[in-house]
Structure 1
C-alpha cells in the first residue's frame, strides 16, 4: 500500500505521455462529466489525457532540482567544514545566510522575475542550495576537525578521499533523512510555481496548472481538479513514507 502511494503517480508521470492519445482531444464542451473517463476540463479537453500528460515535467523538476542542489550543496558544505582557516569558512557560508531569511516561495518568485529564462530547475535548485550547504557543514564539523582527518592529511591522502569519502560519509545518514522532506519540498515549490504560472504556459498539460485553471469549475466536474491534486498528494506522502521506512532499517 505504501509503495502504491508513490508508485502510481510516478508511473502515470513517466509512462503517461506514451499512453496518452497524440495531441489534445477537444470535445468542445467545458466541464462535461459524461465525456471520457474523468470528463473534460475548462477547454473541453479530456481530463484523463491531461493527467497522463501532466506529471512528467513536474517529476523531472523535482528530481533534477533536488539532485543538483545536493550535488552543489554537499560539496559547498564539506569544503566549508574542512576549511583550515576560519576566513575561508566565513567567505563560503556568510553569503548563504542571507537567502534563508527570505520565504522560499517568495524567493522562487523573485528569482523567476530576475531570471525569466533561467528555467524552473535552476531556480528551485538555488532555493534549496543554502539549506543543504548549511546542513552539511553543521553535520560535518565534528568529523572534519577530528583526529582521523588530521591523520589522513599527514599521510598525504587526497582531498577527495579525506573530504568526500570520509567526512562526506559521516553525514550520509543525515542527508538520507533530509532527502525525503527535500524531495517533497521541491515538489511543493515546483507545483506552486506552476500553479502561479511561473515557467509554464497557462494552458499547459501540467498537474498544478490543471488545478489552477479548473478550480472555477470544481462543482461542474470535480475530477478536473481532484485527479491532478490526488497525484501530487499521493506522490508527496508516498515519498515521505518510503524514506521514513528506509531509515528505520538497521
Structure 2
C-alpha cells in the first residue's frame, strides 16, 4: 500500500500529466462530428470560441492531442530502445576501437542542431505521425546514448561487474540485469529531459508544417495558426500551449517525485 506522504508527493505530477494524456487518448472518441463553422476568432461560438478557420476550439482540442502527445511519447521510447543497447555495448566492451566506433559517430550528429536534422530528413520522408516519430526518436538517440554510456561506464568498473564476467554470465544478464538496473535512477531523471526535447521537436516541426498538415487538428498547429488572433480569442492559443506544457512539467514532476522516494532498508533475509 502506498504511504500517504508518497502519494501526496506524486499527486501534482500525476494530475498535470493525466489531463493531456486523457485528452490525447479519449478526446477523439468524445469529439463527435464537427459542427458548422463560425466567424474566425469569435469568442461566442461554442464553449471556447472559434479558431482562425471558424472551427470550434473545444472540438479541435479534443482532436489535437494525439498527434503531439503520442508522437512525443513514442519517439522518446524509441530513442531509449536504441540508445540503451548502444550505450551499454560501448561501456561494457573491452575493445577500445569498438567503443570509439560506437560513440564517435554520435559526437558528429551532436554537432548538428536537432531541428536542422529534422528539416533535412523530413524532405525525404512521407508526412505523417509514423515518420515524425521515427525522425524525432532518431535525432534524440545521440544525447540519450551518451548519458547511458557515461552512467554505465562508471558502473562497469565496479567489482560486481568483473565478478559477473568471471562467473561467465551472459552479456544480457550483465548489461541488462545488473548495469541497467543500477542506473535506472539516472535514466529516470534523463527521461524527463528527453520527453521535453521530443515535445519541442514535435511542436516545432508542426509549426513548420513538417509531418502534419498546416490546418490539422493539432495542439502545436493551433498555437501557430491562431497566434494572430491572440487578443481576439486567446483560448485557441493559450489552452493548447498549456496542455503541451502540462505534459512536460507533469512528467518531470512525477519522475522527480519517484527519484526522491526513500530507499527501504533490507529485511533480515536481505530483501528490500
TM-score interval for Structure 1 and Structure 2 normalised by the shorter chain: over 0.9
The answer on 1:200 being equivalent to 2:212 is: yes
Q: CA deviation at 1:198?
A: 0.7
Deviating beyond 4 angstroms after TM superposition, the runs of 4 or more aligned structure 1 residues are: none
Q: 1:47 aligns with which of 53, 57, 61?
A: 57
Question: Hey, what does 2:71 align to over in structure 1?
Answer: 61
Counting only pairs closer than 5 Å after superposition, residues 60-209 of structure 1 correspond to structure 2 as: 60-116=70-126, 119-209=131-221
- Per-residue deviation, 1:25: 2.4
Deviation of the 1:114 alpha carbon: 4.2
Residues 38-60 of structure 1: CA distance to partner in whole angstroms, max 9, x if unpaired?
11111111000000000012111
Structure 2 residue aligned with 1:17, among 28, 48, 51? 28
8 A Cα contact 1:26 1:43, kept in partner:
no
SS at match of 2:35: coil
1:38 equivalent to 2:61? Answer no
Q: Is the 8 A contact 2:86 2:145 kept in 1?
A: yes
Which segments of 5 or more consecutive residues in structure 1 lack a partner in the other structure? none
Take 2:204 and 2:38, find their aligned partners in 1: how far apart are those partners?
A: 29
Deviates more, 1:109-118 or 1:68-77: 109-118
CA drift of 1:111 comes to 2.2
**Kept after mapping to 1: 8 A contact 2:92/2:156:** yes
CA distance in 2, matches of 1:89, 1:104: 23
